[in-house]
Amino acid sequence: MRTNAVTRLAFPYGFFVLIMACICGSCGHGTYVAVGVTSAPLSLIGVPIGVSSVKLSAFGYGFALGPFFWKLMGFAATKRDSPRLRLLFPAVAGLHYLSAIVAVTATGAYSDWEQIPPVLGFFILWLLAYVFGQIGLWRGYLERPRA
């Protein structure tokens, strides 16, 4: 995967998985598990208060800043050849994965696993998009030549 493609696709990827996560959370009795994972580490700031809120709660931060976080991930994935930035992507990715695990396993709004069945189709679409995006980011990182 080319550097430009990783960087260009990171923001739309972040926007798409966040929209899919919001659909999972707003479909009747949906789940916020996908929102917690998609917007991690921003999801650890607080508790989501709803899609229609104009306040910048944790949900608002994740929604507003989530795609920019994924753009940062895309940028970091292309910097493996830089001696100073070589470990930026694994560090940011590790922070994301660790905070996502904390968000969905701690008692709170993002651990409503029992609410997945009503939105299972949307949840599966979100999960596929999330996983394939992660594979793309890691491929973009690993394909960069070492300096």
Report the chain (147 residues): mean pLDDT per 10 consecutive residues: 73 90 81 89 64 47 76 89 90 94 85 91 96 93 69
147 within domain boundaries? no
Determine the Cα angle at 64 with ends 22 and 6, to 5°: 90
How many CB atoms lie under 10 A from the CB of residue 114? Answer: 9
What is residue 50's predicted lDDT score, i.e. its pLDDT? 46
**Residue 21 falls within a domain, yes or no?**
yes
Tell which residue, 87, 88, 90, 84, has the closest CA to residue 134.
90
Domain region containing 127 = 3-142
In a domain, 115, yes or no: yes
Give yes or no for a contact between 13 and 147, defined as CB atoms under 8 angstroms apart.
no
In whole angstroms, give the CA distance from residue 12 to residue 112.
27
SS3 99: helix
Phi then psi for residue 88, to 5 deg, are -60, -50
Domain count, the chain: 1
pLDDT at 82: 86
Q: Which amino acid is located at 28 in the chain?
A: G
Position 47 in a domain: yes
Position 22 scores a pLDDT of 85
> In the numeric block, which tokens belong to residue 28?
């009747």
Q: How many CB atoms lie within 10 A of CB 6?
A: 23
b/e code 33-66 from CB counts within 10 Å (16+ = b)? bbbbbbbbbbbbebebeeeeeeeebbbbbbbebb
The pTM score is: 0.83
In order of 24, 28, 115, the CA distances from 118 in angstroms are 9, 8, 6
pLDDT of residue 54: 40
